[in-house]
Amino acid sequence: MTLHVDPKRHFALLTALAVLAALVAGLLSVAPLAAEAPWATNVRVDDAPAGVGTWFPAIAVDPNGNTYAAWQDRRPGGSDDDVRFSFRPVRGAWGASVRVDDAPAGKDVWFPAIAVDPNGNATAVWQDWRDWDYSDQDEAMYFSYRPAGGTWSKNSRVDDAGGATQRGGPEVAVHHDGVAYAVWSDYRNGDADAYFSTRVPGDKWSANVRIDDAAAGVTTFPSGLAVDDDHNVHVVMQDNRSGTYGVWYTRRSASGRWSRNERVDAAAGEVFAGRPDVGVDAAHTVHVAWYDLRSGSYKIYASRRHAGTTTWTAAARVDDSPGSSTTQYPRLVVWPCGDALAAWADWRTGTQVRTSFYHAGGSWAASVRVDDGPGMAGGGYPYPELALGRNWLACAVWSDTRNEALDDVYSTCAGWAASYFLPLVMKNAN
């Protein structure tokens, strides 16, 4: 067999080997990571006409760089909110939106969550009022599935309680083999508890399982969900079992066993801490971000628990907002190497969306602004969301009032590859 070698690839390989050898020999070092990669120009995602509110967006990115967004939408003439969806192919534009839910007229659907597998199959879950009436106040979790390039399936129910029960705030994650996981808050026991279900592709959602271990009367709201390569599921919750809302964590092993709940924000003392999010890296280090009142105003904090340990690191400040200005509603994504990115709503000057980058083993970098509009005319709450794609791509989506008091949905992406690997700096060359 004759081996044909492309001269350009041969040169690139030799260069890479030389660089690796120099790094090992200590002749080269990697320059410090840039604080933030530049966010691209913001792009409007929704296609609702003027005067229509679009809220609570969610985002997912597949390994090919295609982007998926869902949001809550009230189109003209509608008497209820629907869930709508748009798809953006890599290097393309957002397409015309389509409706995801099939609830009857007059029935609201709220708070969509979306996730996608490596093949581009999407799963959406939301809070749905179609089964609600004054005699049976049943707020349910519904879902729909979209095969890659296809259309959304007929909706089906995720929760299995039925009856006069409130439910809300769903989160969804999908493993690379297509298995989906969902969590939500559920009042079937008389107060809000955290419930969980899973779905194998082509099957129904599994029997629901309560995952918090708080006593009766405690209010628990799950707000962050992640699954690692080994099918371990990680959930963070806000609950008031200690008297004040705090941040709690639980883990489901691949065998299906849930751990005891652990307090994450203990350093905060008995002050409010809430809306946590979670991510996990390839080493199974768990990363959590939340906001709390320990400084007298709402600020963003983060902590980690390394694999094989049972303790959380001291809370690190994530945002850099000045004085008593408010920062809330953090979202968190984590790369396999342990680097992380956090986004949040920030009111240091008007209403903003900001992000900060964490380099594994280091600290949180100076934040940068994500939204590039002239300002959010109606103030409001952006509720940003984040998703990771291939080649160090990160994408953000949020509600934005730059055009009018009612929200529109905007998105942008950024890449960290160049700033992470370059430039190389000679040292001790003599």
- Mean pLDDT calculated for residue range 15-20: 39
Percent of the chain with pLDDT over 90: 71
**pLDDT score, position 376:** 80
Q: How many domains does the chain have?
A: 1
Q: Is the pLDDT of residue 91 over 70?
A: yes
Report the phi/psi class of residue 9: left, alpha or beta, with left for phi > 0 and alpha for psi in -120 to 50.
alpha
- Mean pLDDT calculated for residue range 36-44: 86
In a domain, 3, yes or no: no
Question: Would you give the DSSP letter of residue 205?
Answer: B
- C-alpha 183/C-alpha 197 separation (Å) is 7
- Mean pLDDT calculated for residue range 222-235: 97
Residue 369: pLDDT band by 50, 70, 90 thresholds? very high
Tokens of 136: 């049976």
In a domain, 6, yes or no: no
Using CA atoms, how far residue 363 sits from 33, 35, 299, 317, 356, in Å, is 11, 10, 16, 9, 10
In a domain, 7, yes or no: no
Q: Give the contacts of 422 (CB within 8 A, at least 6 positions apart).
A: 31
**pLDDT score, position 136:** 52
- C-alpha 98/C-alpha 270 separation (Å) is 45
In a domain, 22, yes or no: no
Q: Give the contacts of 226 (CB within 8 A, at least 6 positions apart).
A: 173, 233, 234, 278, 279, 280, 334
DSSP of 59-98: EEE-TTS-EEEEEEE--TT-SS-EEEEEEE-TTS-PPPPE
Give the phi and the psi of residue 8 in degrees, each rounded to 5. -65, -40
Q: What is the CATH number of the domain that holds 366?
A: 2.120.10.10
In a domain, 2, yes or no: no
Query: Across the chain, how many H-helices and E-strands are there?
Result: 2, 30
Q: pTM of the full predicted structure? A: 0.88
In a domain, 5, yes or no: no
Q: Is the pLDDT of residue 71 over 70?
A: yes
Q: Is the pLDDT of residue 425 over 70?
A: no
Tens of pLDDT along 375-419?
A: 786 667 899 999 999 888 999 999 999 988 889 999 999 987 534
The lowest-confidence range among 24-38, 138-152, 340-354 is 24-38
Detail the DSSP E strand segments found in 102-164.
109-116, 122-128, 140-146, 156-157
Which domain covers residue 356, as residue numbers? 35-426
In a domain, 90, yes or no: yes
First CA to last CA distance, the chain: 45
**pLDDT score, position 75:** 86
**pLDDT score, position 100:** 98
Tokens of 1: 């067999």
Q: Is 293 helix (H, G, I), strand (E, B) or coil?
A: coil
Q: Is the pLDDT of residue 38 over 90?
A: no
Q: Is the pLDDT of residue 78 over 70?
A: no
- Mean pLDDT calculated for residue range 243-249: 95
423 prior amide bond cis, ω within 30: yes
Tens of pLDDT along 253-284?
A: 999 999 999 999 975 567 899 999 999 999 99
- C-alpha 194/C-alpha 206 separation (Å) is 15
